[in-house]
């Protein structure tokens, strides 16, 4: 099962340059609009809208990581958003940009969320803190164990 390990970063350009120097390949770059729906603690249900289309994402928090339960492209995002809004209610809408890299057996995502901060997501089979420290060489990482929609706005 694919999992995500998330951490706050403070200067994505430095980490990105280091990754590229190590051979990471840029695979995608996009802006996004994420609509999060009200869910119980540890559950994430959102619609991601970006230039490549719309996707329904469902995650489950497990042991400091997030299991990817569903990541599915959808054609009718407006209709699905309407149904989910009626069923759950909208919790938060977040905007920003993402850059996707392929490195070793992982997908590394720089998630720059407007008014919230800069984050790195290590995605794949069994992402570990050891990989973050030893391979990505990120010192004293601040791991995020809640959904991004739970994080406060920063001014």
Report domain extents, the chain: 2-150
pLDDT higher than 90, residue 155: no
What pLDDT shows up at residue 135? 95
Q: pTM of the predicted model, to two decimals?
A: 0.94
Q: Tell me the percentage of the chain whose pLDDT exceeds 90.
A: 95
Query: What is the pLDDT confidence band of residue 52, given thresholds at 50, 70 and 90?
Result: confident
CB pairs under 8 A, 24+ apart, for 60-66? 61/145, 61/146, 61/147, 62/3, 64/5, 64/143, 64/145, 65/3, 65/4, 65/5, 65/127, 66/3, 66/4, 66/6, 66/147
Of the candidates 17, 6, 24, 2, the one whose C-alpha atom is nearest the C-alpha of residue 141 is 6
- HEC profile of 71-106: EEEECCHHHHHHHHHHHCCEEEEEEEEEEEEEECCE
Query: What is the pLDDT confidence band of residue 139, given thresholds at 50, 70 and 90?
Result: confident
Cα atoms in the Cβ-side hemisphere of radius 13 Å centred on 100: 10
pLDDT higher than 80, residue 75: yes
Say which CATH architecture domain 2-150 belongs to. Beta Barrel (2.40)
Q: Hey, is 62 helix, strand or coil?
A: strand
72 by Cβ neighbours in 10 Å (0-12 / 13-18 / 19+) ranks as: exposed
pLDDT higher than 90, residue 1: no
Question: Tell me: the pLDDT tens digits for 25-41?
Answer: 999 999 999 999 999 99
38 by Cβ neighbours in 10 Å (0-12 / 13-18 / 19+) ranks as: middle
């Amino acid at each position: 099962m694919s999992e995500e390990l998330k951490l706050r970063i403070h200067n994505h350009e430095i980490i990105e340059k280091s990754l590229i120097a190590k051979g990471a390949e840029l695979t995608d770059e996009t802006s996004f609009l994420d609509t999060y729906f009200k869910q119980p603690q540890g559950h994430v249900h959102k619609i991601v809208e970006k230039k490549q289309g719309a996707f329904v994402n469902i995650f489950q928090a497990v042991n400091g990581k997030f299991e990817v339960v569903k990541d599915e492209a959808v054609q009718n995002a407006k209709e699905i958003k309407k149904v989910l809004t009626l069923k759950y209610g909208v919790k938060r809408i977040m905007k920003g940009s993402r850059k996707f890299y392929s490195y070793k057996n992982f997908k590394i995502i720089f998630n720059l969320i407007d008014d919230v901060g800069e984050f790195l997501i290590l995605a794949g089979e069994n992402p570990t803190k050891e990989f973050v420290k030893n391979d990505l060489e990120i010192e004293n990482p601040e791991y995020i164990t809640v959904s991004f929609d739970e994080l406060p706005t920063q001014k």
